[in-house]
Structure formats: C-alpha cells, structure tokens
Structure 1
Amino acid sequence: MAAYPVGHGPKPVSSAIYLSQQNCEKQGYGTRSVEAVEAEAINRGCDQIVLRTHDFQAPQFYIKLGFAVIGRIPDYPVDHQEITMIKLLTRPRVMT
C-alpha cells in the first residue's frame, strides 16, 4: 500500500504512507496510519484529505475508510491507473 494524503485547510498537512503489504497486511498498520494523518489534519483545521494511489495498491482499503474516487489517470503506470480519492472531514454545509 502506498498513498500520498494531503489535508487541505488553514494549516495543510502532507504525509506519505508506504507499507509493504506482505509484511503489514491485516495487522492494522494501514488503518492506524491513515487515522493518524486524519487526526492531524483535523487538528490543523483541514476539511478534507485528498490522496493518490494506484489500482494495484489496495484502493478498496481507502474506500472502506470513507474515501471516494474523484479521478483516474488511465495507463499510469502502463497497464494500471492512478486513482485520486477524497474524504471530507467535516459535514457539508447546507445552504438555507
């Protein structure tokens, strides 16, 4: 698994998460890493996290954690795709 989450807000946070799936899968390292980035982003006043990953780097893992796919770059790298995902950290504001 590899991802590059970036929180957007008054004090942006940028983080890279690199875990070898073979050594860390099903042990909670990935979930705890994403949760730590999310907590830091919230502490800094960020309202969303955007991350980039690839189709061979467990995108379903991020979907399970509440991320949604917002973009894909086909054939990058060759025969795969880069996937951009977002997770909102605050509730959307309702216009009245």
Structure 2
Amino acid sequence: MITEHALLDVLPGSEEEFEWAFGEARELISASPGFRGLELLRCLETPARYLLLVRWDSVEAHTVGFRQGPSYERWSSLLHRFYSPFPVVSHYESALSTSSSVV
C-alpha cells in the first residue's frame, strides 16, 4: 500500500465551495480500483491550505488507474479551478509506524 500526498493551496475565500466540490469528487475517487481511503485535512494556521492523503494499492492504481481512468476528467473539472499554485503530488510507502492507545 502507498500513500499519495498533496498539499492543496486553494484560492482564499473559496474554502467552503472547495469542500463542497471535494465532497462530490470523493465519490469519483473512491470508486476507482485500488483506492483504499482518503483523508482531507485543513490547516489551522493557513485556512486556505489542505493536506490530501490518499491510500492506494499501488502507485499505478493512482497514476494509471485513476488519472487515466474515466472519472478523472470530472474530478479535474470539480477541483482544479481552486488550486493556486497547482499542487505537487508525491507517493510514500511506510518506513516506520506506531500508534498509541489511551487506557
């Protein structure tokens, strides 16, 4: 499993509209083969900045399966107009993992 990382700077003032559009776009990506889950986090210090983490079976599930698949055009039309600058996307694999439990 890999994790896609994208830092999304959206146009200030469009955060609410972006989140609404992302809610619709989430349906598209979640239906893609190899999709495992996602998390969209909003920055507290910079409210127009989001961190998108998407878990995939493989890099190819994202770069070929989703980006070259039938839903990507709709994904782009929903979301790409919000970005300034356009985000850089990177892929990561687990190197070390830990969790804590509260008793």
TM above 0.5, yes or no, is: no
Q: Answer 1 or 2: higher relative contact order, Cα 8 Å, separation at least 6.
A: 2
Give the structure with the larger strand fraction. 1
TM-score normalised by L of structure 1: 0.30
TM-score normalised by L of structure 2: 0.28
